[in-house]
Amino acid sequence: MTPNAPLPDVQKTPDGRNIAIDKVGVRGVKFPIEVLDRENGRQRTIGNFTLTVDLPAEFKGTHMSRFLEALNAVGHEVSTASLPALVHDLTERLHAAKAHVDVTFPFFREKKAPVTGRAGMMEYECGFQCEGNGEFRTTLYTRVPVATLCPCSKEISAYGAHNQRGWITVRLEASEHVWLEEVVDWCEESGSCALFPVLKRPDEKWVTERAYENPRFVEDVIREVALRLDADKRVTAYEIEVENEESIHAHNAYAYLRRGKPPKG
């Protein structure tokens, strides 16, 4: 190459294979962000991003560095309100018909023990997905641990009942703002008992007895979450997964339920 000549742009050379690509971009991009927090206004956390656009058949490649520049430009605020702007910015920078942003992050709430009120921090994996161009579809994502106690084990045993940590994953679309905290609450109400960061003995007695009084299969848990989502007029589509880390088996119990348009891109 001649010195000082502009470097060739290989990506924008034409491609003869005539194959359009649904999504191309970057994955596993870590970036400090701020998300909305119902109690405290905002919360600082760390996003793990996937950013993609479609690529028409005629171009050889996309320009990967522009995804990172878009992230820098839009700044650190991430919400269902702000994501369409980032998605739109990606379509502009990359001359794309459609873009997708998927971000997950640890989300913290202060949580008090049920009897003594001792407080601690409880972490939930949360996230948003947004895609489109002009019209945008946004999905909320939460993954919430709960305790589940087996109704069959309780019924057939002279005493005790096996219980375990279970994980509830919800992806939902809504017509109006839904707080992540609302979805977390719906999940925690749907297990046999919620989990807590700090439990003193009177609290441990309370959670043990509450789980025993409230036995739930994975089937019960998923239906309880579905009832709450069905009852909320804002929720227009959803997908729920429940997975129990069975304390009597090395494998897990699992349930899956979807309503409305599939919320996954």
- Interacting residues with a copy of itself between 73 and 112 (CB under 8 A): 106, 108
Write the CB contacts of 139 (distance below 8 Å, at least 6 apart in sequence): 128, 129, 130, 171, 172, 173, 263, 264
Exactly one of 64, 73, 81, 97 binds a copy of itself (CB under 8 A); which one? 64
Q: Is 53 in the site for a copy of itself (CB under 8 A)?
A: no
CA dist 264 → 31, 106, 173, 184, 199 (Å): 22, 20, 10, 19, 37
Query: Closest distance between a copy of itself and the C-beta of residue 212, in Å?
Result: 3
Q: Which stretch binds a copy of itself (CB under 8 A): 81-89, 127-135, 161-169, 181-189?
A: 161-169
Restricted to residues 189-208, the positions that interact with a copy of itself (CB under 8 A) are 193, 195-202, 204-205, 207-208
Restricted to residues 32-51, the positions that interact with a copy of itself (CB under 8 A) are 32, 44-46, 50
Q: Measured on CA atoms in the order 146, 234, 174, 78, is the torsion positive or negative?
A: negative
Q: How many CA atoms lie within 13 A of 31 on its CB side?
A: 25
CA atoms of 218 and 148, how far apart (whole Å): 8
Restricted to residues 210-229, the positions that interact with a copy of itself (CB under 8 A) are 211-212, 217-220, 222-224, 226-227
Q: Is 253 in the site for a copy of itself (CB under 8 A)?
A: yes
Restricted to residues 111-140, the positions that interact with a copy of itself (CB under 8 A) are 118-123
